[in-house]
Structure 1
């Protein structure tokens, strides 16, 4: 046998060794590269997801605005007023869209406490009950003598809340609640609400004894007014 030289043995032993080890720096760089790729994919997904969601919300919002525009100022205003009287509570729904100026004035008066202690100074059966300044004897008594029924005349239904259209220097606020359908009051009253609860209280006030000037013999008044956005 031929004798193998030591140098040949050394070369053969090197060839049998395992693969060369990867350096720590290379491993770290590879991991960083993978992390960057993952983060980039996550950021891209979030961007397109948020963009898609925003487009859907904008489309829905635009659709709602086209269908029905809601004035945020009107939405924030109270929609109901509760007249707490000495006979009980009367809840009225306010017509914010139909009579915005009158409703604004009414709400302002409520916040100033204008109706606290206000008396129902005029009660006319099958017609109206009236609260306000009892020293300003007005309209309602005259209306009863002047109004003539007409077959097809416009009517205010019963339990409607209104105030006179005529303006004066007086800074008060007259309240009328109709107790029956009244012909031809459109030129006299601005209707700005309707009774939705407490019709029996209105009828109870309507039935009190009055003098020849339709003034209640026993005082009946509004204790206070509570405003609510919803019942």
Structure 2
């Protein structure tokens, strides 16, 4: 594996360039909407013994992911908090690169970035790999900067895995995998994309996460 391959540097850059607004995350914590219904229901289930699954109903079909709450407890809890708060409802997959990944969870259809909770610890050293159909946290060039945005690998992206404690080796934390709807992921990765302002690889027809819910 060539660590400094230009194409790979470009691909890695796509994971965090849309997160340039991450420094405002801490100040925006109060802006997260409160979840409907019984508060804490999803988090309570997360701490139980049963597998934790989240269904993402998109404009192109449903994707169900199972979270690895044992190996990635911080990332799993963070994701569930956003689900429970309704944060992902109405967001889009704003960056789609076939042969790499589909990224979402941070922008509305008009490319407005949503406020987030504080950044979390990077759990990339948990032993989980960026294999095909795995779910991972997007981040900036800062190690512990992931907030709400996530991506689904559409191939095995070994160069995104944790290697060492250097800035080049921190990696991207995997915290789950697609267990239903891989065909939907495949349809999304094939959509036509273009530019939207400063953003590249944006689907020309918005791929909307209509609802995210705990199962």
Bigger share in helix:
1
CA distance in 1, matches of 2:208, 2:46: 31
Aligned to 2:212: 225
Aligned to 1:96: 69
Aligned to 2:117: none
Structure 1 residue runs of 4 or more that deviate by more than 6 Å after TM superposition: none
Aligned to 1:145: none
Where do residues 43-192 of structure 1 align in structure 2 (5 Å cutoff)?
A: 74-75=47-48, 79-134=52-107, 156-164=130-138, 166-168=143-145, 172-186=147-161, 187-192=170-175
- Aligned-pair Cα RMSD in Å: 2.5
Measured at CA, do residues 211 and 174 of structure 1 come closer, stay the same or move farther in structure 2, by a change above 3 Å?
same
Aligned to 1:24: none
* Structure 2, unpaired ranges of 5+: 1-44, 114-127, 162-169
CA drift of 1:157 comes to 1.0
Verify the 8 A CA contact 1:155 1:184 in the aligned structure 2. no
CA drift of 1:131 comes to 0.3
CA distance in 2, matches of 1:180, 1:216: 19
Aligned to 1:28: none
Q: Secondary structure at the match of 1:194?
A: strand
CA drift of 1:164 comes to 2.7
Q: Which has the larger radius of gyration?
A: 1
State the TM-score, normalized to the length of structure 1: 0.55
CA distance in 1, matches of 2:150, 2:112: 13
CA distance in 1, matches of 2:90, 2:51: 22
Residue-by-residue CA offset, 1:73-95 (whole Å, 9 max, x unaligned): 73257610011111010011110
Verify the 8 A CA contact 1:156 1:183 in the aligned structure 2. yes
CA drift of 1:226 comes to 1.7
Aligned length: 139
Bigger share in strand:
2
Aligned to 1:64: none
CA distance in 1, matches of 2:184, 2:201: 18
Aligned to 2:202: 215
State the TM-score, normalized to the length of structure 2: 0.59
Measured at CA, do residues 74 and 133 of structure 1 come closer, stay the same or move farther in structure 2, by a change above 3 Å?
closer
